[in-house]
Amino acid sequence: MLEIKNLHVKLEEEDKVILKGVNLTIEPGTVHAIMGPNGSGKSTMSYVLSGRDGYEVTAGSATLDGADLLAMAPEERAAAGLFLAFQYPVEIPGVGNMTFLRTAVNSQRKARGEPEISAGDFLKLVREKAKTLKIDADMLKRPVNVGFSGGEKKRNEILQMAMLEPKMCILDETDSGLDVDAMKLVSDGVNALRDAGRSFLVITHYQRLLDHIKPDVVHIMADGRIIKTGGPELALEVEKNGYADILAEVL
Amino acid sequence: MAAVAQARQTALAARLAALALPEGGVTRAARAAALARVQAMGLPTRRDEYWRYTDPSSLTAPAAAPAALFDAQDEAPIFAALDRLTLVFVDGIFDPEASDPLELSGVEIARLAEADRADLHWAQGLYGVLEAAGQNPVARPLAALNTAAATDGALIRVTAAAARPVHLVYEHKSKTSDVILHHCVKIEPGADLTLLETGPAGARFNKVMEVDVAAGGRFHHVRVQGRDHDRRAATHIFARLAAGALFKSFTLTANGVLTRNEAVIDIAGDDAVAHVAGAALGDGSVGPFLHDDTVFITHGAERGESRQVFKKVLKHGATGVFQGKILVTPGAQKTDGYQISQSLLLDDDCQFLAKPELEIYADDVKCSHGSTTGALDDTALFYLRSRGVAHDEAVGLLVLSFLADAIAEIENETIQAEIVALLEGWLARHRG
Ligand SMILES: Nc1ncnc2c1ncn2[C@@H]1O[C@H](COP(=O)(O)OP(=O)(O)OP(=O)(O)O)[C@@H](O)[C@H]1O
Ligand SMILES: [Mg+2]
């Protein structure tokens, strides 16, 4: 279970406050969606949860199954079961996608005291998961995300998620840049991972993704806070009327 | 000016006084000519333009500074898994007992110290010849001194595709050894050789290798310069390429107080290809580190291709130097010249000094050069860590990714994998 309480975050280098008291609890097995205007702090929250440098938590807490996420190094958070599918996946020239995936899988296993996966088992697993996401052998061989199209990068994020089998998956605008077919592929990939022990936080601007990945709870974030929480109908309302009414209501 | 010239001569006089110059047999004339050359030049000083970034005084001093012996116990012998012919030099002296018999299909191998006693030898046409030619337009006095004073080396003539790679293994067993080695490699038309070199040759090391690649010949060279911290080395490779010849050289350098590797390549025949690459790793916390790659490639024929790819990973006050030049002479149309020198600074107190130069006298050519220096990419580091890769391991992956273009210059995949393993070992030992 992910529990965020009264989370306040500012930029380390400037006096700019971005998150102003976020409260959010995500139970195992549920899918939550976050929508909200550009610049409201959605990506910042996902970065802070996964441990990126440059932010300062001035108040509040974030725990995963009771463990203090904010006290851990990014790799420890990953080993604890947190995964962030990046809004802008990073290109790493010179590191092969396969090497990257295998290193990641084995690092997490090692951190949990499990034995490394054998080269054969790993290969089989990657091929199987890549196939369902229509990621071809060439993409696996290439350096991480280098020369990938926008949609290919997003599919590659989901492949990593499928390989790492995290408990808490945050998807930051995984639908942006995807064509209709790719959206279906990615959604199927996510849905295949849904189970009682795994939760999702899906950040998106569009209802379309939520047609495929059906959320249990929808939140609206604005100006660094979650200002409204509801069921799937809340996303439909945003799609129809935008944020103006909701923002006005809160004010 | 006069003062500089005087300093050069003073340095040379002191150095020569401490050396016993071999008389030479077949190399006698070449040695005498080289002595005259170095006497005209003197030895380099810090005030020489070509030595602006690298202080040559410990390379030119009369005696070698003592260097602690280094035992790389944690590392398997390099290239031991390859089927190859090994020649062992202990502190610069050939050790026949430790070496394989000098018999290899397609290759004639002799020891310089021995061949020099004969009246006639093929190496007569090569010894000192490319070194002498390489003194223009930039003086390289340490190489001329080497030709005059070399005590041993390997003379390798390749007449066909060599059955196996030849591996020169250097061992450093005396704390004060001052080694002067001179190798000659002659690749006859269409012949093919892979030459490997590993190990620190001595406390101080002056090495020259002359490589003459005839039409259609192929020469691959992979060198691993050792891990010892006190090593001081000045090396020169002089290569001449005839039409359609291929020359590819890669050097891995880890640690060492001072290493200056010069490559002087003359693309003399049409359609020849010359690639020189290097990866250097320096960690100033284990001792001073300066690594200098100085390259001079002359395109003197048409449709030549040259690539220089040099990468340096520096931490804790290490210094990297690169001086690289591409000279395209008036007739050398359709030349394709490329040069990249990059350094990755793992912390703030390192420096990288680069002097890339292009000098082009032909109009229909494609030449480019680039030089960069920078830190690790924080975003990439975070991305890797967010996937569970531990900090140090993530740094290691990014360093290898930085070095990838240089490593890719090694054609043989087995050798490439071994170089990567050596790099990984170094990175694991030099964390934090
Ligand atoms: N490193 C930074 N430096 C300066 N401003 C920042 C930084 N990180 C975030 N911000 C600012 O914080 C605010 C929140 O940004 P964030 O990326 O979290 O928004 P978002 O809700 O994800 O928006 P979008 O929907 O456009 O992706 C923005 O005003 C952004 O400009
Ligand atoms: Mg965002």
Q: Which residues in chain A have Cβ-Cβ distances shorter than 8 Å to B397? A: 92, 95, 99-100, 103
Averaged over B389-417, what is the pLDDT? 95
What are the residues whose beta carbon lies below 5 Å from ligand 2 (ion)? A 42-43, 87
ipTM, interface predicted TM-score of the complex = 0.96
Identify which of A10, A13, A19, A40 to mutate to test ligand 1's pocket (most ligand atoms within 8 A of the CB): A40
Which one of the ligands is nearest to A38 CA?
1
Mean residue pLDDT across chain B: 96
For the cut 80, the answer to whether the pLDDT of residue B1 exceeds it is no
Asked whether residue B174 is assigned to any structural domain, the reply reads: yes
For the cut 90, the answer to whether the pLDDT of residue A94 exceeds it is no
Cα nearest neighbour of B408 on chain A = A94
Averaged over B214-230, what is the pLDDT? 96
Averaged over B387-410, what is the pLDDT? 95
Cα nearest neighbour of B403 on chain A = A94
Q: Band the pLDDT of A219: cuts 50, 70, 90.
A: very high
Domains held by chain A: number? 1
What is the Cα B79 distance to its own chain's centre? 18
Question: What are the φ and ψ backbone dihedral angles of A163, each rounded to 5 degrees?
Answer: -75, -35
For the cut 90, the answer to whether the pLDDT of residue B119 exceeds it is no
What is the Cα B89 distance to its own chain's centre? 17
Lowest average pLDDT, out of B108-122, B147-161, B353-367, goes to B108-122
Residue entry with tokens 């006859």: B188
Q: Note the pLDDT of residue A137.
A: 87
d(CA B176, CA B202): 8
For the cut 80, the answer to whether the pLDDT of residue A17 exceeds it is yes
d(CA A204, CA A187): 13
Owning domain of residue B353: 84-378
Contact B400 A73 (CB under 8 A): no
Mean residue pLDDT across chain A: 94
Where residue A60 sits, what CATH number does that domain have? Answer: 3.40.50.300
Identify which of A44, A174, A201 to mutate to test ligand 1's pocket (most ligand atoms within 8 A of the CB): A44
For the cut 90, the answer to whether the pLDDT of residue A133 exceeds it is no
Residue pLDDT, tens place only, B305-330: 999 999 999 999 999 999 999 999 99
Whole-number Å distance, alpha carbon A63 to ligand 2 midpoint, is: 22
SS (H, E, C) A167-216: CEEEEECCCCCCCHHHHHHHHHHHHHHCCCCCEEEEECCCHHHHHHCCCC
Cα nearest neighbour of B378 on chain A = A53
DSSP B88: E
Residue pLDDT, tens place only, B233-292: 999 999 999 999 999 999 999 999 999 999 999 999 999 999 999 999 999 998 899 999
Which one of the ligands is nearest to A14 CA?
1
Distance from CA of A92 to the nearest CA of B (A): 6
Q: Band the pLDDT of A212: cuts 50, 70, 90.
A: very high
Whole-number Å distance, alpha carbon A78 to ligand 2 midpoint, is: 20
The two three-digit tokens of residue B334, written as one number: 């359709």
Contact B391 A75 (CB under 8 A): yes
By the 8 A CB rule, do B273 and B409 touch? no
d(CA B40, CA B12): 10
Distance from CA of B375 to the nearest CA of A (A): 14
Asked whether residue B92 is assigned to any structural domain, the reply reads: yes
**What percentage of chain B exceeds 70 in pLDDT?**
100
d(CA B50, CA B324): 11
Question: What are the φ and ψ backbone dihedral angles of B152, each rounded to 5 degrees?
Answer: -155, 180
Q: Note the pLDDT of residue B111.
A: 96
Whole-number Å distance, alpha carbon A219 to ligand 1 midpoint, is: 18
Which one of the ligands is nearest to A18 CA?
1
Q: Note the pLDDT of residue B233.
A: 97
DSSP B161: B
Residue pLDDT, tens place only, B29-47: 999 999 999 999 999 999 9
For the cut 90, the answer to whether the pLDDT of residue B120 exceeds it is no
Owning domain of residue A21: 2-250
Contact A90 B401 (CB under 8 A): no
For residue B149, what are the CA distances in angstroms to A208, B121, B178, B237, B256?
A: 79, 19, 12, 17, 24
Contacts (Cβ under 8 Å, ≥6 apart) of B130: B210, B211, B212, B238, B239, B240, B264, B266
d(CA B315, CA B282): 6
Whole-number Å distance, alpha carbon A41 to ligand 1 midpoint, is: 6
Q: Which residues in chain A have Cβ-Cβ distances shorter than 8 Å to B404? A: 93-94
For the cut 80, the answer to whether the pLDDT of residue B163 exceeds it is yes
Averaged over A201-223, what is the pLDDT? 95
